[in-house]
Every structure is written in C-alpha cells, then in structure tokens.
Structure 1
Amino acid sequence: MTSFDTFTIDTEHTRRLAHELAAVSRASPTPSPELPIEPVVDGFSSAFNAAMENLTARLAQVRADAGAVAESSFRMAREAEETDSALASACGGL
C-alpha cells in the first residue's frame, strides 16, 4: 500500500531514465533523402528542403533540451542522496 505522507525518489530509476535521455540527446539525426533534380519538381524540392532544414534545427534544439534535462536529473539524484545521507547522519545514522 502506498503512503501518501512520505515523499520518495527512486534515484537509481531516475539515473536510468536520465541515462537513456542523455543517450537519445546525443544521437545523430537521420539524413534527408536525395530528391531528383528536375524542373518539374523544383518547387516541391525547395519546399521539402526548407521543411527539412526547419525540422533539423528544431530537432537540434529538442536534443539540447533533452540533454539539459538529463543533466539536471543526474544532479537531482546526486543531491537527493547527499541530502538524505547528511540528514541520516545528523539524526544519528537512521
């Protein structure tokens, strides 16, 4: 049964999730396909390339944000353990 008057953080689970997030944030993007160079599809090719450039830029920002969240999660897990340890020591080694 879950106690709702106790706040717990599973730091090992937090680290696993942060590690996965960090790994995804460092993955390299898939290159866009090569389109044929023909006058008939020039308009489409230009629009497609502009859309892909926009998506690539947005993906780079999302990956940077994911990396920042992962780093923050690692830091939070470490700080939670350090605080818990210091409090246990101050309370006589609970």
Structure 2
Amino acid sequence: MSPLSTFEVDPEHTRSLARDLDEASQFHAPEHAAMPEDPTVADFVTILNQAIANLTARSEQLHADTAHIARAGFALADAAETTDNAAGQAFNGFQVS
C-alpha cells in the first residue's frame, strides 16, 4: 500500500490551464466551399457534404466538451481556495506541540 499523500491543487496554475482550454474551446465552423453541380459527381458531392456535416458536428461536440472541462477547472480552483481558506479559519489558533 502506498503512503498517503496530500491532494494539492495550485489554483493559479489550474486557472491558467482552464483559460487555455477555454480559448481552445472556441469554435467557428468554416464556410462550405461551393461544390460542383455536375450530375456526374452528384453522388460524390452528396457524400462529401455528409462527411463535412459529420466532422462539423464532431468538432462542435469536442469544443463543447473542452469548454465543460475548462469550467470544471475554474470550479476546482475556486473550491480548492474556498476549502483551504475555511480550513485555515477553522484551525486558526491551534498549535501543534
């Protein structure tokens, strides 16, 4: 069994990472290029448009997940500070002999 260790959270570093994730979560789908309307490639264009729509939906979900993780990072940093401050107040005046 491994020895117990203290769970440490550096709120500023956590917030910095969360800010980076928040910036990375911004997503703007690119404009679709004009596709040829030639009947000989109509099936290909249809499948290509479906693939582009699928990739766009996946990208939107990935960016939404990244934004969620960023919000969780901010919440973790806030909770760590709140807990640390509350513990500091609760143990204020205690002395270890």
Task: Report the TM range for the smaller structure's normalisation.
Answer: 0.7 to 0.9
Partner deviation per Cα, 1:54-81 (whole Å, 9 max, x = no partner): 1111211222111111111101110110
Q: Which runs of 5+ in 2 are unaligned?
A: none
Aligned CA-pair RMSD:
2.1
2:35 matched to 1:35? Answer: yes
Cα 1:15/1:59, change in 2 over 3 Å: same
- Overall identity of the aligned pairs, in %: 38
Q: Which runs of 5+ in 1 are unaligned?
A: none
Taking structure 1 as the reference length, what is the TM-score of the superposition? 0.82
Spell out the pairing of 1:17-28 with structure 2 (5 A cutoff): 17-28=17-28
Structure 1 segments of 4+ aligned residues over 6 angstroms from their partners: none
Counting matched residue pairs gives 92
In our comparison, the structure showing a higher alpha carbon Rg is 2
Structure-2 residue corresponding to 1:84: 84
Structure-1 residue corresponding to 2:57: 57
- The CA distance in 2 between the partners of 1:20 and 1:41, in whole Å, is 42
Taking structure 2 as the reference length, what is the TM-score of the superposition? 0.80
